């Protein structure tokens, strides 16, 4: 593969996923990833600070899409509808490559370092959604609860989409998960039985 070919980000991502799956995250070097992608190490380090960040590329753009969708939801939209718009913006931005997504999920589950980075990513998405929702509804606590529910629906829906392979889009599965979370919250809030004491 010629070193000048386009889509260096995508090539590095595919090379990293393949190599991490073949020989493990810790055993794979940046030089091996660059070589597999047909690029130089200099190009890799110009695009990413380390091999871990290759897997998490595009996070800032994803967060920006979600927050912008929350902000630009119609004026009459409820906070939950604005949240759904933000979550949909994230899922719509994903390439619907189930095999690559499943491979990435396995890699993250197998590596403490990648798991830590994934948790950090989840926290940053939640914080950004909360900030956008706070602008809309003016209530930090309500915005925080909505953001937590939205991010849970996003991740649980993503896992369900990977497992199902039933032809539904990622967005459809995640929005269904969001509605299921909303129904579960209604049930919890309607349950007025006193809590058990130890």
pLDDT block averages, 10 residues each, the chain of length 198: 64 92 93 96 94 89 92 92 94 76 87 92 94 92 94 94 87 94 86 60
Locate all alpha helices (DSSP H) within the chain, ordered by sequence.
Answer: 8-23, 30-37, 41-47, 51-55, 59-71, 79-93, 98-110, 112-137, 140-164, 170-190
Decide: helix, strand or coil at residue 71. Answer: helix
Res 58: pLDDT: 83
- Model pTM score: 0.82
Cβ atoms of 11 and 47 within 8 Å: the answer is no
Token output for 6? 């386009």
- Say which CATH topology domain 8-54 has: Arc Repressor Mutant, subunit A (1.10.10)
Domain boundaries, the chain: 8-54, 58-190
Res 96: pLDDT: 59
Token output for 57? 């590329």
Rg (the chain; Cα; Å): 19
Res 62: pLDDT: 87
User: 58-190: what CATH class?
Assistant: mainly alpha
What is the maximum span of the chain, computed from C-alpha positions, in angstroms?
Answer: 68
Nearest to 14 by CA among 107, 113, 118: 107
Please provide residue 184's backbone torsions phi and psi, each rounded to the nearest 5 degrees: -65, -40
Number of other CB atoms surrounding residue 6 within 10 Å: 7
Residue 122 CA to residue 46 CA, distance in Å, equals 25
């Amino acid at each position: 593969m010629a070193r000048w070919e386009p889509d260096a980000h995508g090539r590095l991502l595919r090379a990293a996923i393949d190599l991490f799956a073949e020989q493990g995250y810790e055993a794979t070097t940046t030089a091996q990833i660059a070589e597999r992608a047909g690029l130089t190490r200099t190009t890799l380090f110009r695009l990413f600070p380390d091999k871990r960040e290759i897997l998490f590329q595009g996070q800032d753009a994803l967060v920006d899409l979600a927050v912008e969708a929350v902000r630009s939801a119609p004026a009459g939209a409820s906070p939950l509808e604005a949240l759904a718009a933000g979550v949909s913006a994230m899922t719509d931005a994903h390439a619907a490559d189930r095999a690559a997504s499943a491979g990435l999920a396995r890699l993250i589950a197998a590596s403490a370092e990648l798991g830590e980075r994934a948790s950090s990513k989840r926290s940053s998405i939640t914080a950004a959604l909360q900030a956008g929702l706070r602008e809309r509804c003016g209530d930090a606590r309500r915005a925080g609860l909505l953001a937590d529910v939205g991010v849970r629906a996003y991740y649980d829906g993503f896992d369900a989409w990977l497992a199902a392979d039933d032809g539904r889009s990622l967005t459809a599965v995640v929005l269904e998960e969001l509605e299921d979370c909303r129904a579960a919250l209604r049930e919890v809030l309607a349950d007025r039985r006193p809590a058990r004491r130890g």
